[in-house]
Structure 1
């Protein structure tokens, strides 16, 4: 199968492309920075260069590449700017879907998130509504996710992967990431807010399986949603950071999610819980 991966140089893309190649697929990585071309070649993939905000060029690239499937792993997280990430979800997805449809692409797999569910009792399933009553800046993220998902749903076949909080190499929760630094400084409090984590390798593996999944939305999270009062002390201990301060309360988006649907379709994460994942990947 010929597959184009948009966001090929990102945290998930870097893991996903070798997995797809190993399965025998012809993989093309869409990159903006040519510096990433060599790593794609080394992984057994080819590459095309385009900016998703340049519609004309993107249409040309998709027409020339003519993939059967487009995997949308585009994010803009470096500056921790919700508006930048919302823009790529809104405008970038719009351009990518339009170019894919024009090129005759049948299926799209798109990266979304679980942190935009409306408040409710217990962790969320895929049927729970998004939080359109959230205050800013959370509402910007909710609207970006909604735009991404509804736009991707214009594809004849579409799979929406709602990832939990990512940890692993290159993430904010990596041993040299932003939140690890905050933990070491004693600035990462343990609150009542519930988080569902997923390791980057498990997230990428879900995208591989999604090539065969029915159209729909899937929570891609581990099986252990946990309050900050549970996971933050374990995270801090794994980093040899000080014991975190406990602060009651939570914020919007801290509900957690359930993964039963993805499990039914054959997803079996390497780390069923962040407890194992932190212990084996943080040092």
Structure 2
């Protein structure tokens, strides 16, 4: 299959590119920078320098690549620019989908997240509605996701992967990542908020598998949603940070917001045959500890 991999130098894209090449796919991969393009060429891909906000350039890139499928892994999270990230989801996705329509590309696999659901007391399934909050900055995040998912669904074959919180190389939860830095500064508390995690390699493996999945949205998370009071101390120990403060310091009294509920991966496991190689963040965080001995 011929693939256009948009966002090939991001945390997931870096893991996904070699998987696609090893599987025998032809890959045209994009990066915003000249340095990224050079790195992609060295890794064996056809490299395209692309600004996803440039509609004409996106149209040319898709037409010239002539892919069988587009893999949308574009984000701006490395720079902590949430407004830019939401813009990528709105405008960048719109440009990719419109270009796909014009070029006759009928399949897309797109990156979403699994913590944009409405509130509840149990892990969210794909049948749970997206949050209709008006509170910022969450409202901007959810609106961007809604735009991304609705645009992707315009193509006849579309798979939206609602990833859990990513950890591992190139993420905020790497031994040298943002979260580890916050732990070392004593800024992260261990309260009741529930998260679902996912190793970045498992995210890439799911994207590869999704090329053959039927259309729809799928939660791609590990098997163990966990409260911060459970996972934060484990991560702190793994990265050699001091034990965190237990309980919230944000006025919630150690509670959680309704949307901090984690996500359920039953659909991925039972209907798609997907299994995370790290079934729990416990095993994955232990790997981080071996990479960064305390």
Of 258, 274, 277, 2:281 maps to 274
1:120-152 CA distance string (max 9 Å, x none): 120000110111125111111110110000011
Counting only pairs closer than 5 Å after superposition, residues 1-80 of structure 1 correspond to structure 2 as 1-80=1-80
Q: Secondary structure at the match of 1:78?
A: helix
Q: Does the CA-based 8 Å contact 1:134-1:252 persist in structure 2?
A: no
Whole-angstrom CA distance in 2 between matches of 1:134 and 1:82: 16
The yes-or-no answer on 1:263 pairing with 2:286 is no
Cα deviation for residue 253 of structure 1 reads 3.6
Indicate conservation of the 8 Å contact 2:16/2:207, yes or no.
yes
- TM (normalized to structure 1)? 0.97
Match of 1:250 in 2: 256
Within 2, Cα distance between the matches of 1:87 and 1:252?
26
Further displaced range: 76-85 or 240-249: 76-85
**What is the CA–CA distance in structure 2 between the aligned matches of 1:218 and 1:43, rounded to whole Å?**
29
Shift of 1:81: 3.0
Tell me, in whole angstroms, the C-alpha distance in 2 between the residues paired with 1:263 and 1:34.
39
2:179 counterpart residue number? 179
Structure 1 gap segments, 5+ residues each: none
Distance 1:226 1:134, change over 3 A: farther
Q: Using the TM superposition, give the Cα deviation of residue 252 of structure 1 relative to its aligned residue in structure 2, in angstroms.
A: 5.3
**Whole-Å separation in 2 of the counterparts to 1:87 and 1:71:** 18
Equivalents in 1 of 2:40, 2:74: separation in Å? Answer: 16
- Going from structure 1 to structure 2, the CA distance change for 1:252 and 1:6 (only over 3 Å counts) comes to farther
Determine the structure 2 residue equivalent to 1:102: 102
2 CA distance for matches of 1:237 and 1:50?
40
TM-score norm. by structure 2 comes to 0.94
Kept in 1, the 8 Å contact 2:121–2:258? The answer is no
Per-residue CA deviation, residues 226-251 of structure 1 (Å, 9 max, x unaligned), is 00010001111111211111120223
Q: CA deviation at 1:37?
A: 2.3
Q: Deviations over 1:15-56 (max 9, x none)?
A: 101000000000110122121123222322111122110001
| SS across alignment from 1:172 | coil
Aligned partners of 1:134 and 1:184: how far apart in 2? Answer: 33
- Please list, as runs of the form range in 1=range in 2, the aligned pairs for 1:172-211 lying within 5 A after superposition: 172-211=172-211
Q: Whole-Å Cα distance in 1 between the matches of residues 208 and 214 of structure 2?
A: 13
| Aligned match of 1:129 | 129
Unaligned runs of 5+ in 2: 248-253
Q: Report Cα offsets for 1:246-273 as digits up to 9, x if no partner.
A: 1202235411001111112121211000
